[in-house]
Structure 1
Amino acid sequence: MTLVNQLPGHPAPAADAPRARPPKRWTHRPWFVNGISLVFVLAVWQYFTVTNSRVPGLDEVLAFMVTEVTGGSHGGMTTGEFWSPLWISLLRYMVGLAIGLPLGAMLGVLIGASPRCRALMGDTVLVLLVLPSVIWAFAASLWFGFGSSAPIVAVVLAAAPFTAFNLRSGIAAIDPGLTEMTRSFRVPRMRRLVHLLLGGALPSAIAGTRLAFITSWNSLLIVEWFGATSGVGWRARFWYDALRYPGFVAWVLLFVVIITLLDALVLQGWERRARRWQHQPTLTFGEDLNI
């Protein structure tokens, strides 16, 4: 600021306005990058289709899936099935998540908030986390046989450890000073649990839930492949054993499309909202403490 501007009668210069961020180039936008990735995958697929006669082309896969959806004939007595296997798999998936997610959340809160529970169950959750999905597929099939119980148990065992471990990590990352402050001001336990522990750990919990959704879906496919007589995984195995590779690829591709859409349309939105919510105040002392 110059001396003239400091004299009476001379207004001070306005503060510099914040510079607007330049718009992203269209080549840097997510839809463009995702489109390039999709084109690359299709090009590689087409290359293997041309060089290997056993790899079905995209047109064959789509035509086969249309026959499955419409219930048309695949030759002889075999007809298409689509809605029944898909509904069975989705039902198993939802039931397994309805059990596994609350169970994992409860374990995560107990392990994160209680040193005794952490010493008792922390290593057990870690062991459950590192075991691959194929182990749960074989174990569930061995324990419960061919039916709906094995896929549901596999989904539960895949979802609960991811939810528990990430929620426990989120609680452990909360500033201990905040915990001590809530105790000093005698915040009720329930409010401390909801506003501090769960509120502070929410982004980690959502990230764990997202991983639980994806891992459980993969586990469901594996257990239906090896230990079920119905569902999406069983249908893919049926066409693989029949040497109808377009059908095998079509059902595996459907499996991938479902979890990709679920992640893009639902799970990523949950994670973004949780991260925005983390920056908002979770404890209002004037209201919660009546001071």
Structure 2
Amino acid sequence: MSAPAISPGQSADGRVTPRQNWLTGPFGASLAAALVFLVAWQFAGTFGERIPGPIPVVNAAISEIERGEFFYNFAISMQRFAIGMALSIIVGVALGIAIGSSRIFDNLFGDVNLVGLAIPAVIWALLCTMWFGFADTAPIVTVILSAVPFVVVNVAAGARSVPPDLLDMSQSYDVPRIRRLRHAVLPAVTGYVVAGIRFGVMSGWNGLLLSEWFGSADGVGHRARYWYDANQLPGFVAWIAFFIVFMVLTDRVVLERLSRRAFRWRDGESTPDKPSAAAAA
């Protein structure tokens, strides 16, 4: 019998080599996608009069950093976003647990939260600008209104996942409500809280940009509109790129890892220092 063929990047015993793993892994795929995007962007910029290519955008971004506009406006936006998200998490977790644990709260606020999910961030940005004017309040409230519904709907789903028999047993043994919340409900909703925060961050960050675009004298959204009104598209695209890169890095580096760790019990993953039983066998 002839020896089986060995595919490129595969060792003689059938194991995947590091080279093939790098090419087909998440990093290799992401790098390939980024290269394809840059090539397409350069091609579009070459033949499109109103589409700035990567090089003019990078030059505009470097100019904003050298003038100090990037760090100043980004710090302002981050302060607003941090305050809005902190309040969103507190309010969203409390409402989510209440809606998922109580039929009364579900009847009172369940449909209201669905309405909040249906309203896009641009509507909240316009309304908050009309209500609060050109101040820090409008962007912060926009972040809250954009993010809270996503946190609520995920936390409520986690609260509903608590086995009813466990709650009934705790009630039959007269376990205080605080202890039931701490030892039965909160452990069940931890992963859902992280998932809700992940979606809330994306929606809240979009709301912040739009709110600063419509009604702010500083921040990332204001600076993007500044270059848009000046008809300087490289500067406008540079600030949009700042916005997108920050959102992607936050999601991939922080939120995705937190979500994976929070749902490790559900996915059957093992800790890095403790291999699973199947691997040990």
Shared fold per TM-score greater than 0.5: yes
Per the alignment, residue 202 of structure 1 pairs with 190
Per the alignment, residue 230 of structure 1 pairs with 218
Per the alignment, residue 61 of structure 1 pairs with 57
Structure 2: where are the runs of 5+ without partners?
1-13, 270-281
Q: Aligned residue pairs: how many? A: 253
SS of corresponding position for 1:174: coil
Spell out, residue by residue over 1:136-171, the C-alpha distance to the aligned partner (whole angstroms, 9 max, x if none): 011101101112111010001111111111100111
2:137 pairs with 1:144:
no
Distance in 2 separating the partners of 1:228 and 1:116: 40
Distance in 1 separating the partners of 2:240 and 2:157: 34
Spell out, residue by residue over 1:196-235, the C-alpha distance to the aligned partner (whole angstroms, 9 max, x if none): 1111122222111100011100110111111111100010
Distance in 2 separating the partners of 1:116 and 1:136: 27
Q: CA RMSD in A?
A: 1.9
Counterpart selection for 2:263 from 267, 275, 281: 275
Amino acid at match of 1:218: N
2:109 pairs with 1:118:
no
Distance in 1 separating the partners of 2:248 and 2:205: 11
Counterpart selection for 2:37 from 41, 52, 60: 41
User: Shift in Å at residue 180 of structure 1?
Assistant: 2.0
Amino acid at match of 1:196: A
User: Shift in Å at residue 23 of structure 1?
Assistant: 4.4
Distance in 2 separating the partners of 1:194 and 1:127: 30
Per the alignment, residue 106 of structure 1 pairs with 94
2:258 pairs with 1:262:
no
Per the alignment, residue 17 of structure 1 pairs with none
Structure 1: where are the runs of 5+ without partners?
1-20, 72-79, 281-291
SS of corresponding position for 1:186: coil
Amino acid at match of 1:216: G
Amino acid at match of 1:129: L
Counterpart selection for 1:50 from 23, 34, 46: 46
Q: Matched residues, percent identical?
A: 39
Amino acid at match of 2:248: T
SS of corresponding position for 1:82: helix
Spell out, residue by residue over 1:62-90, the C-alpha distance to the aligned partner (whole angstroms, 9 max, x if none): 1111111111xxxxxxxx62221111111
Amino acid at match of 2:64: E
- Based on CA coordinates, which of the two structures has the bigger radius of gyration? 1
Per the alignment, residue 81 of structure 2 pairs with 93
**Kindly tell me: are residues 131 and 184 of structure 1, through their superposed partners in 2, closer, same or farther at Cα, counting changes over 3 Å?**
same
Per the alignment, residue 161 of structure 2 pairs with 173
- TM-score of the superposition, structure 1-length normalised? 0.82
Per the alignment, residue 272 of structure 2 pairs with none
Distance in 1 separating the partners of 2:119 and 2:16: 45
SS of corresponding position for 2:69: coil
Distance in 1 separating the partners of 2:201 and 2:31: 24
- TM-score of the superposition, structure 2-length normalised? 0.85
